[in-house]
Amino acid sequence: MNYRHIYHAGNFADVLKHAVLARLIRYMQKKDGAFRVLDTHAGIGLYDLSSEEAQKTGEWLDGIGKLMEAELGLQVSELLEPYLSAIRELNPEGGIRFYPGSPKLARMLFRPQDRLSAMELHPEDFARLHRLFEGDHHARITELDGWLALGAHLPPKEKRGIVLVDPPFEEEDEYERLAKGLERAYRRFPGGTYCLWYPLKKGAPVKEFHEMLQALDIPKMLCAELTVRSDRGMTGLTGSGLIIVNPPFTLKDELHQMLPALKDHMAQDRFASHRAFWLRGENKTVKDDPES
């Protein structure tokens, strides 16, 4: 309840998460049928990077601030276009003042038949999120602990969907909670695409987390990780990861194009690295950045 994403909006972790979310949405839209995005920890939806809170940390400067100014190759530009075009649409006069959280980004990319369910527990953040989508019949905003949504709100009535789980990681057992939450949700909605975010930092139980996920009876799990700096002497976030369950068949190849570019443009020291590999399914070969 103490976490406020405004301090971190647009940072390198947001870039990875939102770039992948945009790819998942575009893939779902290859079929005409409606789908729903369920965002369990939605935040306020739209962030003003000129605010006192965002300026206090300036994390966006090393994230989306660098990417928007980067010279990207043709293939990477095409893959990132849905994500970056939404940011440009929010900032028609140029620069980056406004940055979309995941519910706003999803809504901006929707077709008329697509729907959003967004959960937020923090009272002030819920109120702002609710105001942002007030009168929007494509969005349902609920003041709820997002962990509960993994049971009560699945499966969606559309029978197609993306479930984004991006908890604040304020508690020590969040990795275990994330694995158990996925297990519970998958039993209710095995056909859904799940995107789970987790932090990378010194001492984080990432290996144990991956082992918990591998022990689940889920056939296909893809992992993507981006590290922007060494964790030597660091206590904060040095990277972030995503677990994608039931990923599009194209996503692994897309990650192998996007991740090197994200690393090159957002690296904060020479220890920056990336990898994309199967936790379960396809093959389990870990493909690391050849320069890392």
Tell me which residue of 224, 231, 227 sits closest to 239, measured CA to CA.
227
Catalytic site residue from 166, 217, 231, 269: 166
The amino acid sitting at 218 is I
- Whether 8 has a binding-site annotation, put simply, is no
Give me the phi and psi of 198, to 5 degrees please.
-150, 150
Measured CA to CA, the distance from residue 33 to residue 31 in angstroms comes to 6
- Whether 18 has a binding-site annotation, put simply, is yes
Interstrand relation of 287-288 and 139-143 (parallel, antiparallel or unpaired): unpaired
At 28 the three-state DSSP class reads: helix
Dihedral angle sign, alpha carbons of residues 48, 50, 53, 54? positive
Both tokens of residue 144?
């709820």
166 is catalytic: yes
10 Å CB burial of residue 133 (0-12, 13-18, 19+) is: buried
- Whether 291 has a binding-site annotation, put simply, is no
- Whether 120 has a binding-site annotation, put simply, is yes
Question: 238 Cβ partners below 8 Å, 6+ apart?
Answer: 200, 201, 202, 227, 228, 229, 230, 231
Distances (CA, A) of 175 to 5, 96, 226, 264, 287: 19, 33, 18, 28, 23
* DSSP string covering 112-125: TT-EEEEEE-SHHH
- Whether 145 has a binding-site annotation, put simply, is yes
- Whether 240 has a binding-site annotation, put simply, is no
The amino acid sitting at 90 is L
Query: Cα 211 vs. chain centroid, distance in angstroms?
Result: 21
Q: Which residues of 211-222 are buried (b: 16+ CB within 10 A; e: fewer)?
A: ebbeebebeebb
Measured between its terminal Cα atoms, the distance across the chain in Å is 36
Annotated binding site for S-adenosyl-L-methionine: 18, 41, 102, 120, 145-146, 166
Annotated binding site: 18, 41, 102, 120, 145-146, 166
Catalytic residues: 166
